[in-house]
Amino acid sequence: MQASEIVDPSSNSTAVVLITVLDTNDNSPQFLQDHYYYKIREDLALPGYIVTDQFNVQDKDIYPQNRRFKYSLSGADSKYFSIDPSSGLLKVNASLDYEQRKFNFSFKVFCK
Ligand SMILES: [Ca+2]
Ligand SMILES: [Ca+2]
């Protein structure tokens, strides 16, 4: 048996509690498309040519610091291209010569 204080109801005191939930980085970026396809004319396919800056990546986190992405490339053909880690700007990194009979380049873009 526990003893409990007998309180006079008129002596109660209250305080308001306010709780704010803060965003944390608990969502990973997601590509909205899983394939991207581009055609480039060989006379334009020179180092520095911009292929795209339009990777559609969504991150459900709200705070800007939880929505910063880091892009990278992977795969054998990725050496012909470069990507800006923060903006996702994809550029040609070599001269892509049609007469060398390599027409198709395939690689993966990572975003984390
Ligand atoms: Ca995030
Ligand atoms: Ca979050």
CA separation for the pair 89, 109 (Å, rounded): 11
pLDDT at 7 over 80: no
pLDDT attached to residue 11: 77
Nearest ligand to the CA atom of 59: 1
Nearest to 71 by CA among 55, 51, 94: 55
Q: From ligand 1's centre to the CA of 51, what distance in Å?
A: 25
Quickly list DSSP for 25-60. Answer: S----EES-S-------TTT-STT-EEES---EE--
pLDDT band at 1 (very low <50, low <70, confident <90, very high): low
Per residue in 35-83, pLDDT (tens digit) is 999 999 999 999 999 999 999 999 999 999 999 999 999 999 999 999 9
85 CA from centroid of ligand 1 (Å): 15
